[in-house]
Amino acid sequence: MEQAGTVVLSSGAVPRPVTSDPDAVKERIVRQIRSDLERIEVEIERQLTTSIPLISVVGRYIMGSGGKRLRPLLMVLAARLCGYKGKRDAALSVVFEFVHAATLLHDDVVDHAEVRRSKPAANTIWGNPAVVLIGDFLYSKAILMAVGHDKLRILEVLTDATTKMAEGEVLQLINSDNLEIDEGEYLEVVTRKTAVLISAACQIGGIFASGPPAHVQALRDYGYHLGIAFQLIDDTLDYTGDREELGKPVGNDIQEGKVTLPLIYALRHGDSSTTARLQEIFGAEEIPREDFIEARDLVVEAGGIDYTQRLAMEHISEAKEALTAFPPHPTRDLMVDIADYVVFRRA
């Protein structure tokens, strides 16, 4: 424990150090996923073609360039790791991008978002009614696509995930400006909001490929820990990233008063003047620019970013550990690289 004694990680394991060359890892990933990404893009476009042009237009906008396609990609890789060699994986994989896009659209309405990925949020262009209803369409269409794959177990995992996600969204809304939320409650939201769908994508890849239960479980664990780490890093980026890298204004969460782990940590572990000042800033109706810069600095100084990053690295270690259930395989190595990339992306 190189930091304050108050840092308690979920196990005694020392996180494995992230690879020394982020650019090399990124380059390796990009090179290996190119053809899968192309197949995924073709399938997304095919499924977005409807008789109602507005649906296609808004669908393309929310799923357009800039998305990482993390969920479809992980499903495809999970299936491959379980021995799948066919072409039907792409059609199932986009289910997860459609579900994800539906939640983005509804999130934008819920958050009154103005910007997403450096573009105006869809609701600012087409209005809340269209965005709500097209979110509903994308979600329904996703489930309909999944039904086409004729495996009840896939639908069980998928709809269990989407139901937990919906509960997580409600939980997040209830807690959105609750400075009393503790780390456990926050991680519950993160799990439901992000980890559950990524975990389901990996697990379903294994089920789709008819992998043995132990492998399906390992994929589920990999996705779960990767998902938590992904969201934790996302939350730190709001404090550290710059606007251009992130596609949304830095401090967006802060300005909206969203209480995420860096702040939760700082409120509990900062000195009393830090805590008092943070409560004052986040208790206000609006947070002026100079206040959120101050809040950001206070959170960083109190160790909130370090703590969150270390917790993310811990989960990445667990994600990689889960993959040891599989024998050595180029796809396994690629999934290890992706796990590493999650913690150093844009940071």
The site for its own copies (CB under 8 A) is made up of: 50-52, 54-55, 106, 109-111, 128-130, 132-134, 136-137, 139-141, 143-144, 147, 150, 152, 155-156, 159-160, 162-163, 165-167, 169-171, 173-174
Q: How far apart are CA 314 and CA 10, in angstroms?
A: 8
The dihedral through the CA atoms of 108, 63, 186, 283 has a sign that is negative
Q: Of 8 and 152, which CB lies nearer to its own copies in the complex structure?
A: 152
Q: Can you say how many angstroms the Cα of residue 291 is from the centroid of all Cα atoms in its chain? A: 28
Task: Give min distance, CB of 163 to its own copies, in A.
Answer: 4
Nearer to its own copies, 115 or 133 (CB): 133
Least gap, CB of 54 to its own copies (angstroms)? 6
Could you tell me the smallest distance in angstroms from the CB atom of residue 200 to its own copies? 12
**Considering beta carbons, is residue 9 or 171 the nearer one to its own copies?**
171
Q: Considering the complex, what minimum distance in angstroms separates the CB of residue 172 from its own copies? A: 9
Could you give the CA distance from residue 101 to residue 63 in angstroms, rounded to a whole number? 6
Nearer of residues 24 and 174 to its own copies, judged by Cβ: 174
C-alpha distances in angstroms, 170 versus 34, 165, 184, 192, 329? Answer: 36, 9, 16, 10, 40
Q: How far is the CB of 133 from its own copies (least distance, A)?
A: 5
**Helix ranges, 49-177 (H):** 53-62, 70-81, 89-111, 122-147, 152-174
> Quick check: helix, strand or coil at residue 316?
helix
For its own copies, which is the closer residue by CB, 125 or 174? 174
CB of 121 to its own copies, least distance (A): 14
What DSSP string runs through 111-141?
HT--EETTEE-HHHHHHHHHHHHHHHHHHHH
Of 139 and 282, CB closest to its own copies: 139
